[in-house]
Amino acid sequence: MKKIEILALLLVLSVPVGMPMSVFFYQENIFRQPGVIQVVARQWEFEPSTITVELGSTVSLLLTSADVVHNFVILNYSIDVTLYPGKFTELEFQADLEGQFEIDCTIFCGSGHYEMSGLLIVTA
Amino acid sequence: MIQKVSRINNSKSTLLLYGLIAFTVILVAYPLIARAQMAAPTDREVTIVAHQFEFNPSIIRVNVGDNVTIHLRVADVPHGLYIDGYELNVHFIPLDDGPNEETLNFIADKPGVFRYRCSVPCGNFHPFMVGKLVVEPAYEFPIASILAILFSAGMVGFMWRSKPSTPKPPKRINILGNSLVRRLLRSRYFQFTAMFISSIFFLLVILTGLFGTPVGNENFSIIVVWIIWWGALMLFLVPFGGRLWCTICPLPSYGEWAQRGALTQKSESRHGLLRKWPKRLNNIWLQNFGFLSMSMFIGVFITIPMATAWLMILLIAMPLVLSLVFKDRVFCRYLCPVSGFIGLYSMAGALELRVKDRQVCREHIENDCIRGNERGYPCPWFEFPQNLDRNAYCGLCTECIKTCPKDNVAVNIRFGGEDLEIEPWGGRKKRGLDEPWKAFIMLTLSFLYGLVFMGPYGWLKNMAGMKTVGEWVIFAGLVWGTTLLVTPAIFYAFAAISKRVSGATEISRRDVFKSYSYALVPLGLLAWIAFSVAIVLINGSYFISVLSDPFGWGWDLFGTTSYPWTPYFSLFVPYAQIVLLLLGLVLAIRTTYKISMRLYPNRQSARRGSIPIIIFFILFTMLLLWLWVGW
């Protein structure tokens, strides 16, 4: 086989192998910051629905929505972030109140809106 | 006696023309009267309730100068309202303890028909959630219709008066005359490189579709396939390049490379069973049915990334499997649903591959182009280049450019062409009904898709989006029924009238029907261009943001992720569409006349016979005008 054929074959094979690998690498090693919790809002739940953090720690969240506009509200922490579908918002706060706090969506987002909630648990 | 009969018939078709003119007058009169009766500008309050994926009301009428206040409410999830042309935008994000509506106030100072659309992503059909704002007096539709009729009448007058002449060969410029282009196209590395590059995008489409966000307008797969690729195909590649897309299409690449066992070189052996395609399937019916099968699910494919990914996987698996069984580009030639309409519309395209001199081919009995040689493969599209007289099934794969030892192959940029008037291969094959039906399918769907995706009808969107099985069954019935039965039946009636008024007896109604169906091609192509202009200009800006975040995972590769949805030139879209549709009509009439001159025995019957067909085209153009700029 000619050298150029081998080169072409390597090129062709490099795409289906290399592309998923580089995507995975970028996502895991460059984009994703350690300690950041990704939260996806969708009709009608937050995923994960329970976030557990330590008292006094700095909480980093990456928030998004997977269908329609929602928001991410924790009343006691004065947090209120609007989440547009497919768009991401970073949120950082100090977990300085101990206890369990409800995470709410206060934007009307369909028939299950009033059941949509999550939980922030701050432990000592 | 015959003379007398035809004179009567002739007066009948003139009567039809008068009827049309009367119809026009009414159309002109309507907005004039409307304007005359129009009250002084007043305050208008409109409450619009938005729900997935419809505004209620979806058509609003006001008078020019009115002070309009829109109260936007929602019934399910947050929505917004953007008015084309006025470029006004309002979002309503209803908070639990907030107000129950958002208001938008403006002076309706521009008359015309404007689409308004949802501006807050609200689910899979969000980009197609539209309504119509009619600011009276809206002149676009009546004036465009009058222009359609005037242009048609003008063309008829012009063509009637023109002296009979032998058809001139179209002007052609052979791009292989340029030594750089020639070297490029003769190189075996050219096509490999083109297909390889497109396969990278293709793979990214599959990956983003499978693993990216389910939000369609934030996912690379949906935006690239249904806006960028589709737009490039319809606005550029097909009209200017014919089958140029087939040159770089990645779908058959893996299959072809596997069968040849070579990527950039000419190999001597082939792999696989290398069967011949069955003769009875030597037509594009499978492409027709394949395209319709896809069309039944179109509302799912173009809104759900995962569905687009699986469609692409299917479209790459099929040629791979087929190339294990059959020799060469069986998938492209007989099965690919995209190839079907590219082939049809490429006949109106401005690029062609032909031999320079047929005599050279006849004397060259070695036929390297269909036997292959050390420089290239035999035509993988089962064409015999010396007989090529239509673009339909030449995939521009560049093999014959490489194999021809006589340098007798030309790739021409052309102005005009006769692909739509002639039998394939200089009459060695008769045209079947497969191509006419492809033309019916495409023309009908250009209207149906416009109605579903750009019309203010939520119930149609529910049907196309498979909201319930029952609704989807109706949509599937609409897709198959209108394309295979309704449009052909109506056209058949016009063809029958054509034959009757022509006075020609020695020609079958079927032939009249078949020949004229090719005149649907230019109108269909321009109808799709009009459709695509709206898609690309209104929703093309999504591409800028998905480029930086193809998966919708929050990336920002080039810093453009937060680029907002921005409709471009929304004021001009309807006017561009009017121009495009009128151009389609003019080209269809020109083609009709040329077909008539070949079809009927003499000029007299050709002229008479073309009138009913021209009337069909005027009516269909008005239907399309109504769809895009009607009230």
Contacts of B219 in chain A (CB under 8 A): 86
pLDDT at B2: 42
Q: Does this model's pTM top 0.95?
A: no
Cα separation, A88 vs A83, whole angstroms: 7
| Mean pLDDT across A52-71 | 95
- A2 contacts B265? CB cut-off 8 A: yes
Cα separation, B161 vs B153, whole angstroms: 12
pLDDT at B33: 67
Altogether, the residues listed in chain B come to a count of 631
Cα separation, B271 vs B325, whole angstroms: 9
- A15 contacts B199? CB cut-off 8 A: yes
Nearest to B218 among A43, A86, A106 (CB): A86
Cα separation, B516 vs B592, whole angstroms: 6
- B579: helix, strand or coil: helix
CB B297 within 8 A of CB B337: no
User: Hey, is the C-beta of A21 within 8 angstroms of any chain B C-beta?
Assistant: no
CB B516 within 8 A of CB B613: yes
pLDDT at B545: 95
Mind giving me the DSSP string for B195-256? Answer: HHHHHHHHHHHHHHHHHS-S-GGG-HHHHIIIIIIHHHIIIIIHHHHTTHHHHH-STTHHHH
User: Which residue type sits at A58?
Assistant: T
Tell me which residues of chain B have a pLDDT lower than 50.
1-9
Bridge partner list, A94: A58
In angstroms and rounded to an integer, the radius of gyration of the C-alpha atoms of chain B is 26
Q: What interface predicted TM-score (ipTM) does this complex get?
A: 0.94
- B217 contacts A19? CB cut-off 8 A: no
- A29: helix, strand or coil: helix
N-to-C CA span, chain A: 67
Q: Measure Cα distances from A55 to A93, B224, B250, B342 in Å.
A: 11, 46, 55, 63
- B554 contacts A88? CB cut-off 8 A: yes
- B555 contacts A31? CB cut-off 8 A: yes
- Taking the CA of residue B158 and the nearest CA in chain A, the distance in Å comes to 56
- Tell me the three-class secondary structure of B104-119, residue by residue: EEEECCCCEEEEEECC
- B581: helix, strand or coil: helix
Cα separation, B218 vs B546, whole angstroms: 6
Contacts of B562 in chain A (CB under 8 A): 87
C-alpha dihedral (B238, B242, B248, B251), degrees to nearest 10? 80
Residues 6+ apart with CB under 8 A from B289: none
pLDDT at B166: 67
Cα separation, A1 vs B525, whole angstroms: 45
| Residue of chain B minimizing CA distance to A17 | B203
- Taking the CA of residue B528 and the nearest CA in chain A, the distance in Å comes to 30
Strands annotated E in B356-427? 409-415
Q: A-B interface: how many C-beta pairs under 8 angstroms? A: 96
User: Hey, is the C-beta of B93 within 8 angstroms of any chain A C-beta?
Assistant: yes
Nearest to B263 among A9, A69, A82 (CB): A9
Cα separation, B391 vs B353, whole angstroms: 7
CB B142 within 8 A of CB B631: no
User: Hey, is the C-beta of B192 within 8 angstroms of any chain A C-beta?
Assistant: yes
pLDDT at B6: 43
Residues 6+ apart with CB under 8 A from A122: A53, A54, A55, A95, A97, A98, A99, A100, A101
Structure tokens at A36: 């950041």
- Return the ∠ at Cα B395 (arms to B392 and B400), rounded to 5°: 115
pLDDT at B4: 42
Q: What are the backbone dihedrals phi and psi of residue A76, each rounded to the nearest 5 degrees, phi first?
A: -65, -25
- Taking the CA of residue A46 and the nearest CA in chain B, the distance in Å comes to 16
User: Hey, is the C-beta of A64 within 8 angstroms of any chain B C-beta?
Assistant: yes
Cα separation, B596 vs B606, whole angstroms: 5
Taking all residues of chain A, what is their mean pLDDT, rounded to a whole number? 94
- B123 contacts A82? CB cut-off 8 A: no
Structure tokens at B463: 């049907």
- A86 contacts B121? CB cut-off 8 A: yes
pLDDT at B586: 96
pLDDT at B7: 45
- B215 contacts A66? CB cut-off 8 A: yes
Tokens 């003499």 identify what position? B602
User: Hey, is the C-beta of A119 within 8 angstroms of any chain B C-beta?
Assistant: no
Which of B426, B403, B414 has the alpha carbon at shortest distance from B353? Answer: B414
User: Hey, is the C-beta of B552 within 8 angstroms of any chain A C-beta?
Assistant: yes
Structure tokens at A53: 């953090």
Cα separation, B430 vs B260, whole angstroms: 32
Cα separation, B422 vs B428, whole angstroms: 11
N-to-C CA span, chain B: 48
Contacts of B252 in chain A (CB under 8 A): none
Cα separation, B16 vs B193, whole angstroms: 56
* Predicted confidence (pLDDT) per residue in B303-333, tens digit: 999 999 999 999 999 999 999 999 999 999 9
Nearest to A86 among B78, B207, B552 (CB): B552
Cα separation, B86 vs B266, whole angstroms: 58
CB B315 within 8 A of CB B251: yes
Which of B248, B173, B202 has the alpha carbon at shortest distance from B398? Answer: B248
User: Which residue type sits at B444?
Assistant: T
* Predicted confidence (pLDDT) per residue in A62-114, tens digit: 999 999 999 999 999 999 999 999 999 999 999 999 999 999 999 999 999 99
Which of B295, B223, B308, B303 has the alpha carbon at shortest distance from B53? Answer: B303
User: Hey, is the C-beta of B96 within 8 angstroms of any chain A C-beta?
Assistant: yes
Which of A5, A3, A15 has the alpha carbon at shortest distance from B192? Answer: A5
Strand order of the sheet with strand B67-74? B54-56, B43-51, B67-74, B102-107
Which of the 8 DSSP states describes residue B175?
Answer: G
Contacts of A22 in chain B (CB under 8 A): none
User: Hey, is the C-beta of A2 within 8 angstroms of any chain B C-beta?
Assistant: yes
User: Hey, is the C-beta of A56 within 8 angstroms of any chain B C-beta?
Assistant: no
Cα separation, B478 vs B506, whole angstroms: 37
pLDDT at B21: 72
CB A64 within 8 A of CB A40: yes
CB B268 within 8 A of CB B285: no
User: Hey, is the C-beta of B258 within 8 angstroms of any chain A C-beta?
Assistant: no
Largest separation between any pair of C-alpha atoms in chain A: 70
Residues 6+ apart with CB under 8 A from A91: A60, A61, A62, A63, A72, A79, A81
| Mean pLDDT across A21-36 | 92
